Amino acid sequence: MSEAFLGQVTVKPIISALPEDLKDLYTDAAWWDPSYDRDPGFLNHLAKESAVFVGAFYKKKMIGMGRALSDLVSDAYIQDVTVLKEYRGKGIGKIIIRTLVEELRKKGVDWIGLVAEPGTSAFYKELGFDVLKDHIPLKYKDS
């Protein structure tokens, strides 16, 4: 079933997405903060302002996404990769990552990184990523 299903899924770079689709994905991934409801307008900029934004679609429904932030000269950071829970485990996330990497390479980016959630390093290693030994991710304390 998985191969037949994947044959019906389209993963492609996009420059816009419906805000309600993005909210569904963020909510499903437990990334939606209730404060976003006050001004969800930022959703209109997510795809457009990302260096690369990839959507995964099944029967015209957006079921997954991923994006990269970059100067499009040297470095890029992949983030917000998610697939709706009911569609996980079918290979869609891998296709999203591969598409992001391919699009970044086409644009000349030669260093691609990401911050993975705990327990996901094997997934990313399978796709060519390695743990950055001797480096630690940091986050500004007020954000």
Q: What is the pLDDT of residues 34-64, one digit of tens each?
A: 888 888 788 888 899 999 999 999 999 999 9
- Residue 4 clears pLDDT 90, i.e. is over it: no
pTM, whole model, 2 decimals? 0.92
Q: In this predicted structure, what is the pLDDT of residue 35? A: 86
- How many whole angstroms separate alpha carbon 133 and alpha carbon 7? 37
Domain positions in the chain are: 2-115
When mean pLDDT is compared across 13-17, 45-49, 81-85, 108-112, the lowest value belongs to 45-49
Selected residue with higher pLDDT from 35 and 13: 13
Contact by Cβ (8 Å): 64, 28: no
Where in the chain does DSSP place strands (E)? 9-13, 52-58, 61-70, 75-83, 111-114
CATH 3.40.630.30 fits 2-115, yes or no: yes
Q: Of 69, 57, 131, whose CA–CA distance to 104 is shortest?
A: 69
Where residue 3 falls among pLDDT bands split at 50, 70, 90? confident
pLDDT of residue 143: 63
